[in-house]
């Protein structure tokens, strides 16, 4: 696989990256998003200067204050993986409604609408409990 010159994957697993982000956050030097960005930088872009990460975070924060970001576009037509990434608490909702094995749904990149239709589950109730549009 040919990677761009600035991309240098260190081989860290997702769990290791998460643990590194948590460590950085606990130092109180970084807020949550800075810790995550720094951990990702360490894993994928080790030669990238830290000021680039800080600038990215500042731009994101300015955009969120102005309403340019953080608009959730999740709906019943979103892939289950997208919903779980943005709303991890959705896993509990899925389990409560009987969607206990998500491996097949995730592997097939199914939308929530398709997944609940296969199991004959109440789509509108699930969407309401997750906080997304049906």
> What was the pLDDT predicted at 47?
75
Q: Are residues 53 and 90 in the same domain?
A: no
The phi, psi pair for 118, rounded to 5°, reads -60, -35
Q: How many helices (H) and strands (E) does the chain have?
A: 8, 0
Query: pLDDT category, 119, cuts 50, 70, 90?
Result: confident
C-alpha R_g of the chain: 18
Note whether residue 48 is domain-resident.
yes
Q: Which residue has the higher pLDDT, 113 or 118?
A: 113
Q: Are residues 121 and 86 in the same domain?
A: yes
Q: Are residues 61 and 18 in the same domain?
A: yes
pLDDT, tens digit (0-9, with 9 covering 90-100), for 51-94: 766 666 666 666 555 554 444 689 999 988 888 888 888 888 88
Q: Are residues 55 and 24 in the same domain?
A: yes
Q: Please state, as a whole number, how many other Cβ atoms lie within 10 Å of the Cβ of residue 78.
A: 21
> What was the pLDDT predicted at 12?
77
Is pTM beyond 0.85? Reply is: no
- The DSSP secondary structure of 43-84, one letter per residue, reads HH-TTS-HHHHHHHHHHHHHHHHTTSS-----BTTSBHHHHH
């Amino acid at each position: 696989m040919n990677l761009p010159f600035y991309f240098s994957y260190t081989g860290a697993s997702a769990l290791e990256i998460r643990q590194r982000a948590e460590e950085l956050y606990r130092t109180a030097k970084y807020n949550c998003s800075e810790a995550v960005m720094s951990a990702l930088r360490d894993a994928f872009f080790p030669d990238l200067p830290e000021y680039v990460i800080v600038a990215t975070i500042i731009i994101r924060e300015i955009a969120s204050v102005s309403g340019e970001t953080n608009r959730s576009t999740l709906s019943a037509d979103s892939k289950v993986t997208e919903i779980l990434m943005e709303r991890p608490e959705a896993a509990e909702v899925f389990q409560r409604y009987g969607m206990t094995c998500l491996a097949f749904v995730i592997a097939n990149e199914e939308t929530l609408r398709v997944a609940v239709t296969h199991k004959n589950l109440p789509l509108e109730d699930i969407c309401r409990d997750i906080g997304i549009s049906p």
